[in-house]
Amino acid sequence: MQARRNAQARQRAASRKGAAINKMNEISIKNVLPKAALPGGEVIIEYSGRGLAATSQPQVRFGDFSAQVTMASSDHIVAKVPEPSAELGTSELVVATNGDTSRPFTYEVGKRLASNLHPVANPAIDAEGNIYATYSGRRGQKTPVSIYKVTPKGGVTPFVTDIVNATGLAFSQTGDLFVSSRYEGNVYRVDPAGRTELFTEGMGIASGIAFDRDGNLYVGDRSGSIFKISASKETFVFATLEPSIAAYHLAFGFDKYLYVAGPTTSSFDSIYRISPSGQVERFFTGLGRPQGLAFDSDGHLYAVASHRGRRGIFRFRDPKQPELVVAGVSLVGLAFDSHENLMIVDAGSLYRVRLGITGKPLP
C-alpha cells in the first residue's frame, strides 16, 4: 500500500513538473507595436515562451488571414498585416508554431471604408461625420468625379465633379468645404449640395489648405510660398519654404502656429512651424516623405512619414522623439472624427482606425 502511495505521489509530482514545463513553453503574446496598423504595415509582436526559439518559421494570423513574417527571434516577431484583414477591421492576432498556438490578442486593424480613390492630401470631415476624399488624377486629367462623400457606414457617392486635380480639402467655420486645384492654382468653395464657386485664383501649384481661428485661409503653393487670404480675399505671401516635389500639407496647432510638411528630394525632411507673424522654424527634422498633418485634443501633432526605417503615422508628444502609432505604407493623409477614430487615406483607399483619441476641434 505504501509503495502504491509513493508511486502515485511520484506520478503527481511528474505531472506538476510537466505542466510547469508546458506553461513555460506556452506562447503568450505580451504586446504588439504600434497599437494599430493598415494592410502592409509592419508590426512588432512581443511574446514569451520557448516554443518559437527553436523554429525559424512561426505563423502569424490576423483573424483568418495569414501574415508575412519578415523576422523572428526568441522574444519578438516582425510581420506585415495582410491585405484582406482591412475588410474586417479589428482582428484577433495569434502566433503559432510546432503545434502550439497563442491565445488571441485583440489588435486594431484599420477597416477599409472606400476604395478606388486618389487622395493627395488629408480627407475632410463635416459636422455629421461624413468624410470627403478626392480622386485627384494625373496632372491636367479631368476625372469624372473630383471629390467623393463617404458616410460613416461606408456609403460612397460622388460629391463634386468639375474641379481638375482636386487637392487640398478643409472646412471653414461656416461649414463650407474649400478645395484647392494644383492644376489651375485656384481655390473653390463648395456648398453642402456640392455646388462649387471660385473663391480665389493665382495660387501657383495650390496644394494643402487650412483655416486659422480668425477665418483666414492659408494655401500652400508647393513651389515655395504659403499664401494667407482673408475673408474679404485680401491676399499676401505669409511665408516662404523650400519647394516640395509633391504637395504642402498644412495644420494649425493650439499655439496658433501653422505647421507645414512637404516632401522634397531629401530623405531627411522637416516639419516646419510658422508663427502668426510668418517667422519660420523647424519643428522636427529627420523624416522621409512627410505628408498629412493633424492635431489631437491634447495638442499633439500627428504626421504621415517614415522615420528610422518604419512607416506610418507618427505622434509627436515629445517633439524630439516621434512615436509610431499606426503602421502603414503609401499613406497620404489623416483626419480625426468626433468618435475617437482616425480616418486615413493611402494612395487609393480610405480607412477608419479606432484609436480612442479625440481630435482637435476646428479653429
Grid cell, residue 85, equals: 484583414
> b/e map of 10-36 (b: 16 or more CB within 10 Å)?
eeeeeeeeeeeeeeeeebebeebbbbb
Cβ(250)–Cβ(218) below 8 Å = yes
Q: What pLDDT is attached to residue 354?
A: 96
Q: What is the pLDDT along the chain (363 residues), one digit of tens a residue?
A: 555 555 455 555 444 443 333 444 488 999 999 999 999 999 999 998 765 555 558 999 999 999 999 999 889 999 999 999 999 899 999 999 888 899 999 999 999 999 999 999 999 999 999 999 999 999 999 999 999 999 999 999 999 999 999 999 999 999 999 999 999 999 999 999 999 999 999 999 999 999 999 999 999 999 999 999 998 999 999 999 999 999 999 999 999 999 999 999 998 999 999 999 999 999 999 999 999 999 999 999 999 999 999 999 999 999 889 999 999 999 999 999 999 999 999 999 999 999 999 999 887
**Selection from 226, 191, 232, 234 nearest residue 209 by Cα:** 226
Residue 51's pLDDT is: 53
Give the bridge partners for 271, in sequence order.
261, 284
State the pLDDT at residue 49: 77
Torsion from C-alpha of 140, 343, 245, 327, nearest 10 degrees: -140
Query: For the chain, how big is the Rg over CA atoms in Å?
Result: 25
User: Which grid cell is 247?
Assistant: 504637395
**DSSP-derived pairing of the beta strands 36-37 and 323-327:** parallel
The answer to whether residues 74 and 27 touch, using CB atoms and an 8 Å cutoff, is: no
What is the C-alpha separation between 59 and 45, in angstroms, rounded?
12
Residue closest to 38 by CA, chosen among 93, 83, 95, 70: 83
CB 306 within 8 A of CB 287: yes
Instruction: State residue 25 phi and psi, 5-degree precision.
Output: -85, -15
> In sequence order, what are the beta bridge partners of 281?
273
DSSP state of 118: B
